[in-house]
Chains A and B, each alone.
Chain A
Amino acid sequence: MGKRTPLYDMHISQGARMVDFGGWDMPINYGSQIQEHNTVRSDAGMFDVSHMTVVDLTGDKVREFLRYLLANNVDRLKDKGKALYSCMLNEKGGVIDDLIVYYVDDTFFRMVVNSSTREKDLAWIKKHAANFDVKVNVRDDLTMIAVQGPNAREKTHLALGSETAEQLKDTAVFFIKFVNDSNMGEIAIARTGYTGEDGYEIMLPKEHASTFWAKLAEQEVVPCGLGARDTLRLEAGMNLYGSDMDETVTPLEAALGWTVAWEPEERDFIGRQVLEQQRQQGVENKLVGLVLEDKGVLRNHQKIFIDGLEGGEITSGSYSPTVGKAIAFARVAANIGNTCKVEIRGKQLTAAVVKPPFARNGKSCI
């Protein structure tokens, strides 16, 4: 038996099909993954993401610490509450994890990291935090629920009630707000997500998780599993740690160059030296988007052929409900052209090379 989130019984009662996900028993779907996917693109769906790790970092030198720890630069965060997406690299420039960091105030940043990388992340963060007198507090007392879709915010406001909703009204995209709820106490609500739709990620005390989930369900927010979460993020052009990048590749080989802050030049962050070299010499491999032109489904680890030669592999592949075709990310030789071949069960099928996202805000971009 795997670890259970506070919403486990809720999932079972809603008919979820449960799977093991990095040691956690998580819902893969509640019947139809495609319906859940489409609901998020057209209305509102909710995901139990409480397996992810919330880490609070506090101390006078917390900003200085994060300037060193992360490849993106927290000095881009000027306004309190603003979030930043970044990779955390090892000395070789390999990706230890990707994460979101929220600037709460000058001595307090909140970070959300992946669940599969939890132990190594925490060890790495604590090791470096010690040099900056930064306190690392893992918030296992919190549950995280993501509500995503064009109607997600409105329905969340109704589920929370007008008093709490009033405090959230002017939350801008990619900002977090800490609010006081008369039932749940302090909750943190961020206008972030992993679907390419508007919505919230809500961090609330564990003991209120089921009640709040039920209140969202009353507003007809549809429960969605990890299956839909994966096809939504893939369509939205968002990488998945462990599939699209890991410690053997740098952000530049994972289509994450945009998350590396090169300026100011004097900022020293872990992995910078290797990235600088790679930036000058150019990368051999890069991550691209593929759309299969023939019929079939793209899957992880299928081989890519460029001009008859093997030249890469799919890192995340699936059927895209929004586009109506198979789509993928593939790590390929940097000289790839506009098309390539993908080997599926011994046949070579044609795929177009595209720049993700494939779909966002309810619509196909292809």
Chain B
Amino acid sequence: MSEIPQDLRYTKTHEWVMQNDEGTLTVGITDHAQALLGDLVFIEAPEEGTTFQEGDDSAVVESVKAASDVYAPVDGEVTASNEALSDSPEIINSDPYGDGWIYKIKPEDAGAFDTLMDADAYREMVEEEEH
């Protein structure tokens, strides 16, 4: 069973979202998603200042097997991008919820985080998918 931290929020498309003190959200892909993709070899993360609507293609993660889109979990503007992934995409495999974060986004609606799926709901969804 994959790891699903209790304090994060999630999307149906397997992104995780963390709330930061300065009002931004950090976005990455879940442990479940990285395990399905396998060894990651290329990440295309968004540039600072890019704006997204919820559900937009915001980044691409590519494993040896396949390319997969990362969707914006909320409307907002990118404030930081994880540059370390450019040379070491495999960080996402080894530490999906830590050093493997992909970008930070300032949400248009400060309350957007609370509307996302919580850990219990995401766990239930993943378990259903696996059966």
Q: Which bracket fits the contact residues of A?
A: 10 to 19
- Residues in chain A near residue B77, CB distance under 8 A: none
- Residues in chain A near residue B93, CB distance under 8 A: 32
> Closest Cβ of chain A: how far from B92's Cβ, in Å?
13
- Contacts A227-B64, A227-B65, A231-B64 given; does A297 touch B39 at CB 8 Å: no
Q: How many residues of B contact A (CB 8 A)?
A: 12
- Cβ < 8 Å to A, chain B residues 47-66: 60, 62, 64-65
Q: Can you name the residue of chain A whose Cβ is closest to the Cβ of B36?
A: A17
- Contacts A297-B62, A345-B60 given; does A32 touch B38 at CB 8 Å: yes
Instruction: Give me the interface of A with B, judged by CB distance under 8 Å.
Output: 28-29, 32-35, 227, 231, 295-297, 299, 318-319, 321, 326, 345
B102 close to A (CB within 8 Å): no
Cα(A326)–Cα(B38), bound, Å: 16
Which 8 A-B residue pairings sit nearest by Cβ, starting from the closest? A319-B41, A34-B39, A297-B62, A297-B42, A33-B64, A319-B64, A33-B38, A33-B39
> Closest Cβ of chain A: how far from B62's Cβ, in Å?
5
Instruction: Give me the interface of B with A, judged by CB distance under 8 Å.
Output: 38-39, 41-42, 44, 60, 62, 64-65, 67, 86, 93
Q: Can you name the residue of chain B whose Cβ is closest to the Cβ of A228?
A: B64
Q: Is the CB of A297 within 8 A of B41?
A: yes
- Residues in chain A near residue B38, CB distance under 8 A: 28-29, 32-33, 227
- Residues in chain B near residue A296, CB distance under 8 A: 42, 44, 62
- Residues in chain A near residue B41, CB distance under 8 A: 34, 297, 319
Q: Can you name the residue of chain B whose Cβ is closest to the Cβ of A321?
A: B64
> Closest Cβ of chain A: how far from B50's Cβ, in Å?
15
14 further A-B pairs in the complex, CB-CB below 8 A; given A28-B38, A295-B86 = A28-B65, A29-B38, A32-B38, A32-B39, A32-B93, A33-B64, A34-B41, A35-B39, A295-B42, A296-B62, A319-B41, A319-B42, A321-B64, A326-B42
